[in-house]
Amino acid sequence: MASSDNGKALARLIGTLPVDNVQALASTLSDSDHIPTRYIRPEAESEPIIIPGDAGDDVIPVIDFHKLLDPELSDAESSKLDLACQNWGFFQLINHHVPEEVIQTMMFVTEEFFKLPLDEKMLFKQPPGQVEGYGQMFIFSEEQKLDWADILFFYTFPLHVRKIGLWPTNPSTFRDALDEYSMEVKKLTNCLLGFMAKNLGIAPAEMATMLENGAQRMRINCYPPCPEVKKVLGLSPHSDASFLTLLLQVNDVPGLQIRRNDKWFPVKPLPGAFVANIGDALEILSNGKYKSIEHRAVTNAEKERFSIAAFHGPNTDATIGPHPELVLRDEPLYKSIDYESYMKLYFASKYERKSFLGRMKLNK
């Protein structure tokens, strides 16, 4: 019962104010129109971006999941995974064993939902003071700058926290597609986290215990085209609160950028791959060895971009803090707090626009 109560309490923490639909706004704009001032983000144009080719051999690591499972190849691939988590905090995952049919169906229902007339999409809008459903996240004031995006957001695991009534019924296969996709991605993530735990010197069985009835949240993103593409952001710079995020690129429009060497590094997803990134909770668990990297999404002037982010964390009874075996000379870098307090601090940092990991650090 405690886990259920904690989940409900966390859901109440992140209520969001309603905002205008960006798809509808984008459909009314011509190339000569100016976008509303709430969407204008000077930093979108002023912060430096690494131009493809300028980075030399500096490319995001690629991890082959099939090799991780192969007894003869696993050690070498696990070492690559370990370095990717330390040096990048991001990697692309190929040969991941999620059935192609499951992925294609999830891509299809995503695009079909966002093609619906606004009144049909609004049947699944976020209820007042909540974030699940169709709408936007982290909107706390009428003056706040806005992202150029519309989203669907759901708690998909544990099963008892699902609010199926907010899952779209048009297209008719949406609910089944999301159910199957969420299960496959969670199974994959749990396996990946087992390899990461072993690399960190944590017993995989201990990680499995933390992940039993662990949290999974699904954010399905629609980034409409924008005539003033250099002035907006599809998704504000942030890091993820979770252990591990798997991002699926739905169509061929890129947009993800990660902060690297104080510049924005564009990620070009490989066909059929997931883009994986370390979340804040795993950086804390590893006592800073694995890196949770700030990232953002930009938009396109001509085409919509769709993506699906699956966030994976521990169960709500877990304690978030450095693992005892990873703390050297009794010098933990981060606080240890219960899961609900951790999430409260995360969302409070969002509200106050302050560094979350900075708040979790000791002696700072």
Q: Residue 201: which domain range? A: 2-8+47-360
261 assigned to some structural domain: yes
The model's pTM: 0.94
User: What does the pLDDT average to over 141-154?
Assistant: 92
* Residue 78 in tokens: 């696990």
Give 15: exposed, middle or buried? Use CB within 10 Å, 0-12, 13-18, 19+. Answer: middle
- Binning the chain into helix, strand and coil, the percentages to the nearest 5 are 40, 20, 40
- Rounded mean pLDDT, 106-125: 97
Top-confidence residue, 53 or 36: 36
Within a domain: 163: yes
Q: Is 281 inside any structural domain?
A: yes
> Given pLDDT bands bounded at 50, 70 and 90, which one contains residue 330?
confident
* Mean pLDDT estimate for the chain: 91
Which residue, among 157, 192, 309, has the nearest Cα to 248 in the 3D structure? 309
Inside any domain, residue 233: yes
Q: Which of 125, 59, 48 is nearest to 90 (CA)?
A: 59
For residue 27, being part of any structural domain is answered with no
Q: Is residue 28 part of a domain?
A: no
SS3 77: helix
What single DSSP character describes residue 203? -
CATH of the domain at 348: 2.60.120.330
Q: How far is residue 294's CA from residue 285's CA, in Å, rounded to a whole number?
A: 18
Asked if residue 41 is part of any domain, the answer here is no
153 contacts 218 by C-beta, under 8 angstroms: yes
What is the rounded (10 degree) CA torsion for 282, 207, 158, 307?
40
Number of domains in the chain: 1
Tell me the HSE value of 337 on the side-chain side, using a 13 A CA sphere.
15
Residue, of 242 and 16, whose pLDDT is higher: 242
- In one-letter notation, the amino acid at residue 272 is G
Q: How confident is the model at residue 56 (pLDDT cuts 50, 70, 90)?
A: low
Whether residue 35 is contained in a domain is answered as no
